A = this chain, B = another copy of it.
Amino acid sequence: MSHTTEILLALFVILLAAKLGAELFERLRQPPVVGEILAGVIIGPSMLGLVAPSEFISLLAEIGVIFLLFTVGLGTKPSTIFRVGKTALMVAVLGVVLPLVGGWLLMRIWGATNIRALFVGTALVATSVGITARVLSWLGLVNTIVARIILGAAVIDDILGLLVLSVVASSSTGEINYLKIGTTALLAVAFTAFVALIGARVITRLSPRIETLRIGESPFIVGVVLCLGLAAAVSFIGVAAIIGAFLAGMAMAEASEGNTRVHIQTNAVMEFVVPFFLVNIGMQLQLSVFRDSSLVGLAVAVTLVALATKLIGCGAGAWTLGVKKAAQVGVGMMPRGEVGIVVAQIGLSLTVIDDRLYAVVLFMAVATTLIAPPLLGVLFKEEAAVQNRALEQSASD
């Protein structure tokens, strides 16, 4: 079989399995993301072995999550995020400190070296906001105050996570270059603020001229170009590419408001590429390592600490909103998904963690990602019902 045939077959199998999983979970009234990730577990190396993770699929997965965050950004005006800025900052900071300390402490008790314990703590830090964003848009609740806090906190969380990773990774190899890390932090914050503040205004002003371009579907294409450009730019600074995609979406939010065609178009691309992101997370799971029963205990313990520290840390940050909303924020920040996997891969490549600990972190990343969506479904049941009634009302009017 030629290489092209293999790749086409893999794309077909992944997309088909993901959509079957999503359909099944929709019928069970459960979040379809869970079905798509489980489809990855089933077709991946740990079970059927139909498809193996590859560089091409990882890159498609990256494009998938970039489009997901771009689409979420398109529905989020910068001003709505700024309004919840203080709460989001509190949520992010407490949601970084508690998992880091919690993960480190657990590993130290388990008997790991300091640097190993720090690395596991670091893997617990960053939230995979894509998963929560996907669940919230499935529930039709992207425009609630809780969703905005989660999105804002996730941006800050990612920048903080990057700094923690820089410090921990460089301390494992030798000297820590505080100047370089400080510059990265400053650049990340300045870039984010610049795009959110200035970028949106520039795009809104240029919007009528974008419409007059002769190329097909110009508003959509300009959006995609901007999305890739900012994703590349923030990735160059060292921040996750999805932050750039989210910023690009936010910058275009006002200009594309009411442009149904652009929303249909980005949604179509998203439905096509996001499954690669979700299935790729599921495919990473390595169940074979868990024949060692002592590792199973550790994996469960790390996962419980990962869930509890985000719930308590982020919940405490959003405490002023009341218990229920605080719980929603805490659960929304739980999934570690691809971010946890990336940290584990870096740890493995630096030989700070071994294959077995790598499998433990991967288990935590996939498990937190599978557990959060159904919990979100329960916690947001009331709001989703209200939203549904409002939609039915407006449809019958």
Chain A residues within 8 Å of B, Cβ to Cβ: 1-2, 4-5, 7-9, 11-12, 15-16, 19, 22-23, 26-27, 32, 55-56, 59, 62-63, 66, 213-217, 220-221, 224-225, 228-229, 231-232, 235-236, 241, 261, 264-269, 271-272
Contacts of A228 in B (CB 8 A): 8, 11-12, 15
A268 engages B271 (CB within 8 Å):
no
How far does the alpha carbon of A261 sit from the alpha carbon of B261 in the complex, in Å? 9
Closest residue of chain B to A216 (Cβ to Cβ) is B271
Contacts of A269 in B (CB 8 A): 268-269, 272
Q: A290: shortest Cβ distance to chain B, in Å?
A: 29
Closest residue of chain B to A261 (Cβ to Cβ) is B264
Closest residue of chain B to A7 (Cβ to Cβ) is B59
Known: A4-B235, A216-B271, A269-B272. 4 other contacts (CB 8 A): A16-B229, A220-B268, A224-B272, A261-B264
Q: A298: shortest Cβ distance to chain B, in Å?
A: 30
A232 engages B56 (CB within 8 Å):
no
* Contacts A26-B214, A27-B214, A214-B27; A19 near B268 (Cβ below 8 A): no
Q: A30: shortest Cβ distance to chain B, in Å?
A: 11
Closest residue of chain B to A274 (Cβ to Cβ) is B216
B5 engages A216 (CB within 8 Å):
no
B265 engages A235 (CB within 8 Å):
no
Contacts of A27 in B (CB 8 A): 214
Chain copies in the assembled complex: 2
A271 engages B221 (CB within 8 Å):
yes
How far does the alpha carbon of A295 sit from the alpha carbon of B95 in the complex, in Å? 65
Closest residue of chain B to A12 (Cβ to Cβ) is B228
B235 engages A19 (CB within 8 Å):
no
* Contacts A15-B224, A231-B8; A268 near B217 (Cβ below 8 A): yes
How far does the alpha carbon of A7 sit from the alpha carbon of B353 in the complex, in Å? 28
A9 engages B232 (CB within 8 Å):
yes
Contact among B8, B19, B217, B224 with A221 in the assembled complex (CB-CB below 8 Å): B19
Contact among B19, B213, B224 with A215 in the assembled complex (CB-CB below 8 Å): B19
Contact among B213, B235, B266, B272 with A23 in the assembled complex (CB-CB below 8 Å): B213
Closest residue of chain B to A26 (Cβ to Cβ) is B214
Contacts of A220 in B (CB 8 A): 268, 271-272
Contact among B1, B22, B62 with A4 in the assembled complex (CB-CB below 8 Å): B62
Q: A255: shortest Cβ distance to chain B, in Å?
A: 17
Q: What are 8 A-to-B residue pairs whose CB atoms are below 8 Å?
A: A4-B59, A5-B232, A8-B66, A8-B235, A215-B271, A217-B268, A224-B272, A264-B265
Contacts of A236 in B (CB 8 A): 1, 5, 9
* Contacts A215-B32, A261-B264, A265-B265; A225 near B4 (Cβ below 8 A): no
Contact among B55, B232, B264 with A12 in the assembled complex (CB-CB below 8 Å): B232
Contacts of A12 in B (CB 8 A): 225, 228-229, 231-232
Q: A251: shortest Cβ distance to chain B, in Å?
A: 15
* Contacts A12-B232, A16-B229; A217 near B271 (Cβ below 8 A): yes
How far does the alpha carbon of A190 sit from the alpha carbon of B183 in the complex, in Å? 63
Closest residue of chain B to A23 (Cβ to Cβ) is B215
Closest residue of chain B to A260 (Cβ to Cβ) is B264
Q: A345: shortest Cβ distance to chain B, in Å?
A: 12
Q: A38: shortest Cβ distance to chain B, in Å?
A: 15
How far does the alpha carbon of A4 sit from the alpha carbon of B9 in the complex, in Å? 24
